Amino acid sequence: MSILNKIKNRVKKDDENNPEYREKFARRISVKKIRYVSERVAGANGEIVDTILGKDGFFHITETNELVISCGGKELFKAYTPDLLAYEFLSLEGAVLDSFDLVEGRRRQIIAYYKYYR
């Protein structure tokens, strides 16, 4: 094996389309506390509008592999982890979750901002 192949194997990028990777990502963010949650929707004129849905919440993964976001004792978002498209901010201060929501019965794009402890 050449040196180039060894380097390529070490810096191999994770496949975001792999359900195992999506479940691993959901488990990684499930330990974080949430400062607030917003939903991103397209407005009437085509502009993007962010609406605050809740504050001071948490992530939870159920036994049936569903990622749940709860704020104030209310479920705001629930999605199956194999179907969840999720990306963390470059600053690692939050994540964008895009999936079919089992609470509202439609596809939603949710932004969860983590609590930061010093």
Q: Express each pLDDT in 24-75 by its tens digit.
A: 888 888 889 999 999 988 878 888 888 999 999 999 999 998 999 999 889 9
- Nearest alpha carbon to residue 22 among 76, 57, 67: 67
Whether pLDDT at 7 is above 80 = no
- Nearest alpha carbon to residue 39 among 91, 92, 106, 93: 106
pLDDT of residue 71: 93
Given the DSSP bridges, would you call strands 33-42 and 48-61 parallel, antiparallel or unpaired? antiparallel
Q: Is the CATH code 2.30.29 the one for domain 16-114?
A: yes
Q: Express each pLDDT in 61-113 by its tens digit.
A: 999 989 999 998 899 999 999 989 988 998 889 999 999 999 999 999 999 99
72 Cβ partners below 8 Å, 6+ apart? 54, 55, 56, 57
Note whether 39 and 57 are within 8 A (CB).
no
Given the DSSP bridges, would you call strands 85-88 and 74-80 parallel, antiparallel or unpaired? unpaired
Please give the Cα distance from 93 to 74 (Å, whole number).
23
Q: What is the SS3 assignment for 89?
A: coil
pLDDT of residue 45: 86
More confident residue, 116 or 49: 49
Whether pLDDT at 6 is above 90 = no
**For 24, which DSSP code?**
H
pLDDT of residue 11: 52
33 Cβ partners below 8 Å, 6+ apart? 56, 57, 58, 114, 115
pLDDT of residue 10: 59
pLDDT of residue 113: 94
